Amino acid sequence: MKSPTTLIDRITKHKVLVLFLLLVAVFALFFFLRPKEHGKPLDRKYFDRIPVSVLPAAKAAISDSFSTVGTTQAFREADIFSESEGVVRSLSAEPGEHKKSGDALFSVDNELQAALLRKADAHYRQANRDFERYKNLYAEGAVSLSTFETVQLQREEALADFIAASRKYGNTRIKAPFTGVVTSRFVEQGELVREGTKVAHMLDLSRVKIIISVPERLILKFREGVSLAVTSDLFPGEQFSGKVSAVSDKAGRDHSYRVEVLMDNPSGNRFRSGMFARVIYSSEGTHNALLIPRTALLSGIRNPEVFVVRNGRASLQHLVTGQEFRQQIEVTDGLVPGDNVVVSGQDELQDGAGVSVINRNTGASVK
C-alpha cells in the first residue's frame, strides 16, 4: 500500500491535470442535473422573415366631385425699385398703408434733374423756333433742302433730350404701380439710394389667386371660366365663389397640372397671401376607383410608394395617385385590384425582403 506522502506528491506533481478533470466533472454534473425545458421548437422562418400586415387594393364607386387644398396668392405683387439716384427727401410708404395707383411713395432729391430739365426745355424751344423759321425760308427757296433737314434733325434731337430729362425728373418721385397695400419698406428718409435700389414691396389683394394641383383624369373639367366653390377653415360655414383663370399645359412628375382659381377677396381682404383655401368642384357623376389605405404610403403623397407582397417577398412599387378620401387614396397607376399592400411593418422592409403576413386582429398567418 502506497503511503499518503507518495499520493500527495503525485497530486502536486500533476495538479494541472487534476484541476482540468475536476472542472469537466462539475460541468457534466450541471448539465445532467439542470431542469429540462418543455416547449415548441423554435420556428426559424419567423426570424428569417419580417412580420407585416396587408390589405388588398379594392375598387369602389366614388363621386366625381373633386376637393383639394391650394395656396392663396395676391392678384398682383411687386418689388418696387428706385429709378433715380439721390437722397430720400420724403416718404409716405408705411407697411400696411393702402395706396392708389400713381400715389407717391418716396421723393428723391431732384435739384440736379430739375436743372437738366430746364436746360433741355430751353434747347427744345430754341430748336423749335429755328425749325419754324427755316421751314418758311425753305418754302420761299431761300435755303437748301439739306440745310432745312439739318435744322429738322436738331429739333428732333432736342425733343428726345427733353423727353429723357422729363423722365429722369419724374423718376425722382417713386410711385405706386397699382392700387394695393405696402407690405415692406427698405429705405429711410435721408438715406442715399441709387438706380436699381429696392425700396418697397406691394400687394394687390382686391382679388386673390388660389393655386391648386389637379390630377390628369380631371384636368379637362377645369377649363378657363369654370366656376368653383371656395372654403376656408378660418371662415367656417362660409362659401365663396371663384373661377378658373389659367391652366398649365405641362404636367408635373406626379401627372398633375397647375391651375389658378381667381376670386374676388371679400370685404376687408380677409384672404391673405400664403393662406390655405379649399377648392371644390361639384359633380353628380360617379366612377370606379382603386383605393388603398393612406397608412400604406411610405413617404407621403408627394412621392407615393408602397410595398406589395408577392410570393412571400416585399416589392417596392411607385404609384400615381388621384383623389384623397379621408383615410383612403385613389390609385390611378401602379397597382391592380387584389394586390396585397403592406399597411403595417413597412418601416423595417427593403425591396425584395422576405415577409411573413400576419393578420392584425388574430395574429394568425395569412396565406
CATH of the domain at 311: 2.40.420.20
210 and 347 belong to one structural domain:
no
CA pair distance 202, 185, nearest whole angstrom: 9
- Of 171, 173, 201, 196, residue with least CA distance to 186: 201
Cα–Cα distance between 312 and 354 in angstroms, integer?
6
What CATH number does the domain containing 238 carry?
Answer: 2.40.30.170
Residues 243 and 294 in one domain: no
- Whether 99 maps to a domain, the answer reads no
Residue 11, pLDDT above cutoff 70:
no
Residues 253 and 297 in one domain: no
- Stretch 130-147: mean pLDDT: 92
Cα-Cα end-to-end distance for the chain: 77
CA atoms of 179 and 199, how far apart (whole Å): 17
Residues 274 and 331 in one domain: no
What is the model's pLDDT at position 362?
40
User: b/e for 338-353, b at 16 or more Cβ within 10 A?
Assistant: ebbbbbebbeebeeee
User: Of 285, 306, 323, which closes a domain?
Assistant: 285
Q: Note the pLDDT of residue 315.
A: 92
Shared domain check, 277 and 209: yes
Q: How far apart are CA 356 and CA 46, in angstroms?
A: 7
Domain membership of residue 316 (yes or no) is yes
Mean pLDDT of 269-273: 89
9 within domain boundaries: no
Question: Do 257 and 327 sit in the same domain of this protein?
Answer: no
Please indicate, yes or no, if residue 187 is contained in any of the structural domains.
no
Domain assignment of residue 341, yes or no:
yes
Residues 318, 263, single domain; the answer is no
Q: Give residue 266's domain range.
A: 66-75+204-285
Classify strands 104-108 and 86-91 as parallel, antiparallel or unpaired. antiparallel
Q: Of 239, 265, 285, which residue sits at a domain end?
A: 285
pTM: 0.58
Q: Give the closest residue to 259 by CA, choosing from 67, 70, 62.
A: 70
Report, as an integer, the average pLDDT of 57-64.
Answer: 83
Q: What is the pLDDT of residue 18?
A: 66
Least confident of 184-198, 284-298, 348-362: 348-362
The CA distance from 304 to 299, in Å, is 6
* Mean pLDDT (whole number) for 355-360: 77
Considering the domain architecture, whether residues 209 and 276 belong to the same structural domain is answered as yes
Residue 329 lies in a domain: yes
User: Is 28 within the bounds of a domain?
Assistant: no
Residues 298 and 261 in one domain: no
Instruction: State residue 364's pLDDT score.
Output: 39
Q: Are residues 210 and 276 in the same domain?
A: yes
Mean pLDDT of the chain: 85
Does the pLDDT of residue 35 top 70, yes or no? no
Phi/psi of residue 234, each to 5°? Answer: -75, -20
- pLDDT over threshold 70, residue 44: no
pLDDT exceeds 60 at position 299: yes
281 plus 219 within the same structural domain = yes
Claim to verify: residue 55 and residue 124 sit in the same structural domain? no
- Check which CATH number belongs to the domain holding 166 and give it: 1.10.287.470
Backbone angles phi, psi at 162, to 5 degrees: -65, -40
Beta bridge partners of 34: none
Q: How far apart are CA 151 and CA 203, in angstroms?
A: 49
Total tally of structural domains belonging to the chain: 3
Q: 77-120: per-residue pLDDT in tens?
A: 999 999 999 999 999 999 999 999 999 999 999 999 999 999 99
In a domain? residue 198: no
> At which of 285, 308, 327 does a domain end?
285
